[in-house]
Structure 1
């Protein structure tokens, strides 16, 4: 019946519907689908090729192709009288008492008190929505205020909000810690999704997108790759990857679809690179138009105190991040193939030029050269874009495993320069106290920068380069220790680099240690005593704060000059957090790094690169 109704609506179109915006249900049927072919051919005008008496004006091959095969209708509006679920398969769309009881048991129908809820929604709109505008602000607030907002969507928003909000808000919401808050809302979202409580496809897509930011562990089958793939698959089933011109969707809906699709596209590229997995979205399958500023018109929030209105810098950030992600996908496809790193120099040069063009075409609002004169909010997004741009340069130019040329580790190398740029961007976020609000995809950027810095430390023959790389590595690890308060994956990365530093120390030859003069030896001992004193103070502070030290080995904590750098520097006190991670995990090995507890996501591609480093002897 559905196909018949759709066919009738296409062959005998009725006057424009008065269906309110946002209420359309859509079925996507691509060109290869027989139904699309049949309806399109039946509705095609009869051929006039037999009329030989006329002398038609010459037309171009493209015009001839369009006349013969006009653009088919791909997104079909489902009539309101058609049910969401098939009735002839013995499926009851209504939840049974047992399912309702389960949802109640996980608190799926409970929401925080209004004051707490407002603050959580505001956190999401301040730190996630600006770069991923997956909601219509006005519609969101209207449904939120009237209690009609999808429970699936609301709990998904809460889930990401408790990841980024302040510690005091976690406590006020009634949770003992951030982990319990994340776990609570994660359970609720999964329960609502798996029991098909929500029927609105757009709400499901956006909720799955939000869930993809969280992952319970390395062995969890439903990891961020799973959730993002489900969101992308459902979006493609709706036809979001295709142009919506000529569809029954209102202009407002078309713009929302574009914003959702490009948010999925961006995350697909970053997730594929971070996890070392294939791209799910193929450019050749898509013709959705690029985001434009007008796609954000009409999104002013009626209540900015609860849900922020996107500012121009947010709009521009979304647009240009989408454009950057196109180049990012090309880098992944060309460099990281099953045949290995076989990128030619011409391909590398071409992709480098594309990245440079992207940066050159950035508006002044997003230019890092004008960052000092901008607001704190603008500086935050400028730094985020600059970090991501530098990350792409690292992946494009980092040395191959077979590259043994010592010059490749020179400061002139683009990968090392890009790693330094990542460090500067991270330092800017730390100075402005906005690092914890950084997006999840910033973490792989820090990871990639650390990989290059370790490479320089192990292979460079220039002491100044090594010292610079060591300083940058310390700053990156300090940033990870701060970000782990929101993103648990940082703990895993910190432990991995602890192992790298220990391995590097252990492989140094005894002759190089004996070559230290007496002054240097005395200085090293003094630094060791200073570090021991700092760590004793740190342990005392941890005991006062209730920090759990049950897993810390007994005995003095070693603090080697070559491992932690110049500990007596003025910055030493600010490095407490990353030194703490070293002190509390001295028995950690690389093997159990991949089986440790609750992390954000695997970083398979970068770990392959680091595994190579671990098995290389330092240059002589």
Structure 2
């Protein structure tokens, strides 16, 4: 075996080498001009690179095929070019910056063939297990270095990495002409007009991103405006933004309503994911996480479970679970920590609602708590038209959700392993956390004082308190004590009253159309609980009457957001259930009767509430006989113990 060659200094600094851009460090010294312009002078260092051996050169000659980070093969690039040319004629009066994202999509896919910079910084040394590839990698590292250089084997470049060479020998399958033509006909390479695409991006960053900050916003905007952004990620962002852009934007894009746009963008993103024809591991992870927080209004096997499982898979490939495998760049470390905590929260909440779900991250190594310092320092002077500054409340929201996930994870483990413990003592951490929340999220010196984020966190906490107390009341975890059940019944009632109060505050403040999907699905779950209480013969008459009143204003809230895809699918089911059980009036004559009865009981209700409660006359009279799951006592359904109510996912999802 040839002796290792003497190391030489590469001509490009590490950041420029990672981004595949020209570097003038060799001529002007460090820091280079590119790092100075990007304000990353601290990272501008030269890396030591070993000379290639003869065997390495022969390997390289065999491994010239593109890597798995490429966009798409040439036929697809040509199809995109033709589409972009037509777009350019339709929107010739737009600014060059606005057209850049569309124009560059038709160019060569060379820009997409470079791995994401975050992936470049990952150490190349594998974990010491018994996978044959890791054993071979260890062998190559030991034989390629001297006795004192074994520890530096992980610093070798891609040319000396066994895994990289094998990827060259076994490249991913490329799309053939048939696949390219199929994707082109499906319109997956089409984007809305630049001004409309900007509206979707802005809506995503204003209403979705604050609750799941899984992107580096400045880096994304740079790639978006330069045209190097992953189309899979753009379609995922457009799917999430459909619920928040003005309806005029939806219609100008050629869609009849939000649901049509939602389905179109969702199917395009799904096709990109199925064919894996664009983007590296990080954009694929981010896109899957965005799609996992979406409730479609149509049946699909690609539910939130599917996207969450794929998100965990991509996160494992990136090494997010391994603190030693994270990038050295501080901004990248912050991004990875936020992504990991969003996944961790979802993992806990998914399992908490339905124990049939598996905890995918239960054995992951512990990670330090998230803080408000885990966000990048952003310069938004050139991006203020699309990005708003991150507020204290937005940062505190994710931190609070992370704390809540840890509390509920510990609480569930304690109750399931030691069911005889004092439940009041078990709930103390949740009560203390909730009392400290207002001071953490809305400090007196905050310039924004946006209460929506506090209300959303409180809603999540009360929702899952309902899950715990309802489960205890029904004897879950082997608890048979009547005292515990009575205590759980009282806590459950208090939690639902708190949810009612928050919902009324959101309705009166006029922010219901700005709330995230988690809050929307909580409204549907709350309505299901009120229906259950109204039909529960074991409840007192006053409790059942109060449940009927709560049903009215909860349905009023759902009618305010009935065009939201997450609710559009659930609302007809609720209307059928309520109509069958005569829980709200189905005609004007019934409205008059209910109003008279309400006045006699001293309950003065606004007429608009009753009008909003009218049943949709388009439903046939015998539709309940056609839907088997509506028969019988609806109170027997496990509204919170299962994610789905038969074919209807209206009990919702969480991040």
Please report the TM-score for the alignment, with normalisation by the length of structure 2: 0.67
Residue segments in structure 1 that go unaligned for 5+ positions in a row: 45-71, 506-523, 535-557, 596-601, 612-620
2:507 corresponds to 1:426: no
Q: 1:128 to 1:215 in 2, by over 3 A?
A: closer
**Alpha-carbon distance, 1:576 to partner:** 3.6
Q: 1:105 to 1:610 in 2, by over 3 A?
A: closer
Q: Any idea what SS the aligned residue of 1:164 has?
A: coil
RCO higher in 1 or 2 (8 Å CA, sep ≥ 6)?
Answer: 1
2:452 corresponds to 1:380: yes
2:104 corresponds to 1:23: no
Output the CA distance in 1 between the equivalents of 2:447 and 2:617.
36
**Alpha-carbon distance, 1:326 to partner:** 2.0
2:393 corresponds to 1:313: yes
2:512 corresponds to 1:435: yes
Output the CA distance in 1 between the equivalents of 2:311 and 2:237.
15
**Alpha-carbon distance, 1:504 to partner:** 7.8
Verify the 8 A CA contact 2:473 2:485 in the aligned structure 1: no
Superposed, 1:20-169 pairs within 5 Å as 20=18, 23-25=117-119, 26=122, 29-30=126-127, 32-33=129-130, 79=158, 86-89=167-170, 91=171, 93-169=173-249
Q: 1:201 to 1:39 in 2, by over 3 A?
A: closer
Superposed, 1:326-475 pairs within 5 Å as 326-332=406-412, 344-346=419-421, 348-362=423-437, 364=439, 366=441, 378-398=450-470, 399-401=472-474, 413-457=490-534, 458-459=536-537, 462-475=540-553
Output the CA distance in 1 between the equivalents of 2:411 and 2:616.
34
Please report the TM-score for the alignment, with normalisation by the length of structure 1: 0.70
Output the CA distance in 1 between the equivalents of 2:248 and 2:601.
35
Output the CA distance in 2 between the equivalents of 1:331 and 1:497.
36
Q: 1:461 to 1:248 in 2, by over 3 A?
A: closer
Which residue of 2 is the match for residue 65 of structure 1? none
Verify the 8 A CA contact 1:28 1:238 in the aligned structure 2: no
2:574 corresponds to 1:483: no
1:185 counterpart (243, 259, 265): 265
1:298 counterpart (360, 377, 380): 377
**Alpha-carbon distance, 1:468 to partner:** 2.4
Superposed, 1:190-229 pairs within 5 Å as 190-214=270-294, 216=296, 220-229=300-309
Q: 1:168 to 1:247 in 2, by over 3 A?
A: closer
**Alpha-carbon distance, 1:385 to partner:** 0.8
Q: Any idea what SS the aligned residue of 1:304 has?
A: coil
Q: Over residues 229-281 of structure 1, what are the superposed CA-to-partner deviations in whole Å (9 max), with x where a residue is unaligned?
A: 1111210222212324x754311111111111112222333344456642433
Superposed, 1:220-239 pairs within 5 Å as 220-239=300-319
1:282 counterpart (355, 358, 361): 361
Output the CA distance in 1 between the equivalents of 2:165 and 2:493.
54
Bigger mean CA offset, 102-111 vs 199-208: 102-111
Verify the 8 A CA contact 1:393 1:415 in the aligned structure 2: yes
**Alpha-carbon distance, 1:460 to partner:** 5.6
Which residue of 2 is the match for residue 517 of structure 1? none
Output the CA distance in 2 between the equivalents of 1:608 and 1:207.
22
**Alpha-carbon distance, 1:334 to partner:** 5.6
**Alpha-carbon distance, 1:208 to partner:** 0.7
Q: Over residues 548-570 of structure 1, what are the superposed CA-to-partner deviations in whole Å (9 max), with x where a residue is unaligned?
A: xxxxxxxxxx989999x999944
**Alpha-carbon distance, 1:346 to partner:** 1.9
Output the CA distance in 1 between the equivalents of 2:165 and 2:552.
55
Q: Any idea what SS the aligned residue of 2:450 has?
A: helix
Root mean square deviation of aligned Cα = 4.6
1:270 counterpart (345, 349, 365): 349
Q: Over residues 139-195 of structure 1, what are the superposed CA-to-partner deviations in whole Å (9 max), with x where a residue is unaligned?
A: 111111111111111111111101333322211222111121011111211111111
Which residue of 1 is the match for residue 607 of structure 2? 572
Output the CA distance in 2 between the equivalents of 1:379 and 1:464.
32
Q: Over residues 177-227 of structure 1, what are the superposed CA-to-partner deviations in whole Å (9 max), with x where a residue is unaligned?
A: 112101111121111111111231110000011111335578632222111
